[in-house]
Amino acid sequence: MSAVIDAIRTRRARRAFSAASVPPDVERALWEAVRLAPSHGNAQPTRILVARSPETRAALIDALSPGNRNWAPAAPLLCAVAALPSVDYTAENFDGTSRELWAFHAGLATGNLLVQATAMGLVAHPMASFDEPTARRAFGAPEELRILAIVAIGYPGDPASLPDDLRAKEEAPQWRLPLDIIVAEDRWRDENAIGARAWRQQHAQA
Amino acid sequence: MSAVIDAIRTRRARRAFSAASVPPDVERALWEAVRLAPSHGNAQPTRILVARSPETRAALIDALSPGNRNWAPAAPLLCAVAALPSVDYTAENFDGTSRELWAFHAGLATGNLLVQATAMGLVAHPMASFDEPTARRAFGAPEELRILAIVAIGYPGDPASLPDDLRAKEEAPQWRLPLDIIVAEDRWRDENAIGARAWRQQHAQA
C-alpha cells in the first residue's frame, strides 16, 4: 500500500540521467504496466513506440522542442506513447452525441507506466512539447496514430551534469494545488475553477 | 517495486461491493494520488467531484447508462473525474497547430487513483457510459468542465450479490493484447494497428 503512494509521491520529471542502460526485463515491466491498463470495453487503444536504433532515436529527437533537446537525448530509453482512435470505442450521451476516449485511455496507461518506473528506481519524464508529424515519421507510423507523449526513461543522474537553468528546475520543490481546490464535494464552487498559475500568483504574497 | 506491479495486475473493474464505507483517511489518500499526478507545465487541470449527499448521489446515478445503474449504486463512494480545458496548456506542433492535453492529463491522474485504490484493497471501477450534461448538472458544474469518467469505489463484495449476467463478467478471466502488438520497436508494423476485438476473433479458433 505505502509502496504505491511512495512511488506516486517521489515521482519527479527529472532531467539528469546516469549513463546506465535500462535492462530488458526492467523495460519489459514498463510495457507490461501499460498493457494491463484498463480501457472502456477493453478496447486497448494504447501503443508504445520504442526508439531503439541510433537512426530512430535521432529521428525522434528531431521531433522534440529545442528545450527538450537540451536534456532528453541523455536518456538511454526514448519512447512515444500513442493511441489508435480507430480501434477505440466512443462514449455516448443520452442525446446521441459522442465523446472520444483515446486520449484519456492513453493517459491511464501512462499513469501506470510512470508509477511502475518510479517504483523500479527509474526516472520517466513525459514530454508534450514535440512535433507530432515528425514523431510519427520517426517510426513510419500512419496519420491515424495519435502521439500523446514522448517519454525519456533511465536511471537518475547527477544534477551537476545539467546546465544551470535546468539544474535549478531539477532542484525546485514540487508544488500542487491544495485538495480543497481539486476536490468538489456535492457542489462545484467557483474556487474549483482556478488555474494553477493564477492560484500560485494569489498565494505568492501570503 | 512489486507492490506497484501487483496493484496494476490485480486491479479489476469489479461490480460487487460490500456495504462497508470508505473511511475518510482512505478516501483522502485517493484524492492525494490524483493531486500528485503530473501535467504539462504543472497546469493541474484535473478535478474530482464527490457525490456525498443522497441528493447528489441520486442525481449522479441518473447520469449513468441503464447498464451501469444495475450495479454502481451499491458502491459507497461515487465520484466524477473531470478536467478544465480552460486552465490547461496545449502543446504545439512545429507548424503552429496545437494539441489539447486535458483528457490525457485526466487519464494520468485516474491511473494514479486506480493503482492507489487497488493497493488499499478497494475496488475502483471507472465508467465511460454516462450522460455528461446530466453528470455536470448533478454537481451544478459549468459547461466548460469536461467529465471523463464516473468512478464507483468501495470494498469488494460477494459476486453472488450480482445478477447472473454481471456475476459472469465478474468471474471472467481478464485478457489483454500481447506485448508484441502494443509495442512497436523502431518501425510501426501493420499488426500494431489491430483492434482488441479483431485480434481476439482471429485467435479464438487457435
Q: What is the pLDDT of residues A48-75, one digit of tens each?
A: 999 999 999 999 999 999 999 999 999 9
Establish whether this prediction's ipTM goes over 0.90.
Answer: yes
Which residues does chain A have with pLDDT short of 70?
1, 205-206
d(CA B118, CA A111): 14
Sign of the torsion angle spanned by Cα atoms A86, A92, A98, A99: negative
Question: Which amino acid does the sequence have at A143?
Answer: E
Q: Say if residues B23 and A24 touch (Cβ distance below 8 Å).
A: no
Do residue A8 and residue B186 have CB atoms under 8 angstroms apart? Answer: no
Q: Say if residues A24 and A116 touch (Cβ distance below 8 Å).
A: no
Residues B115-153 as b/e (b if ≥16 CB within 10 A, e otherwise) read: bbbbbbebbbbbbbbbbbebbbebbebeeebbbbbbbbb
Distance (Å) from the alpha carbon of A160 to chain B's nearest alpha carbon: 23
Q: Which among B87, B91, B186 has CB closest to A52?
A: B186
Q: Say if residues B148 and B115 touch (Cβ distance below 8 Å).
A: no
Among A108, A147, A190, which would you mutate to test the B interface (most chain B Cβ atoms within 10 Å of its Cβ)?
A108
Do residue A187 and residue B140 have CB atoms under 8 angstroms apart? Answer: yes
Sign of the torsion angle spanned by Cα atoms A128, A103, B93, A177: negative
Do residue B52 and residue A176 have CB atoms under 8 angstroms apart? Answer: no
Distance (Å) from the alpha carbon of A161 to chain B's nearest alpha carbon: 23
Enumerate the residues of chain B whose CB falls inside 8 A of the CB of residue A32: 5, 179
Which residues does chain B have with pLDDT short of 70?
1, 205-206
The helices-and-strands tally (H runs, E runs) of chain B is 9, 7
d(CA A77, CA B183): 14
pLDDT of residue A171: 85
d(CA B111, CA A111): 5
Question: Which amino acid does the sequence have at A28?
Answer: R
Do residue B110 and residue A112 have CB atoms under 8 angstroms apart? Answer: no
Nearest residue of B to residue A27, measured between CA atoms: B183
Enumerate the residues of chain A whose CB falls inside 8 A of the CB of residue B103: 100, 103-104, 107
Distance (Å) from the alpha carbon of A67 to chain B's nearest alpha carbon: 13
Q: Which among A4, A84, A182 has CB closest to B193?
A: A84
C-alpha cell at B144: 466548460
Contact partners, residue B149, CB within 8 Å, separation at least 6: A104, B80, B81, B106, B110, B126, B127, B128
Do residue A149 and residue B104 have CB atoms under 8 angstroms apart? Answer: yes
Distance (Å) from the alpha carbon of B29 to chain A's nearest alpha carbon: 8
Enumerate the residues of chain B whose CB falls inside 8 A of the CB of residue A104: 103-104, 106-107, 110, 148-149
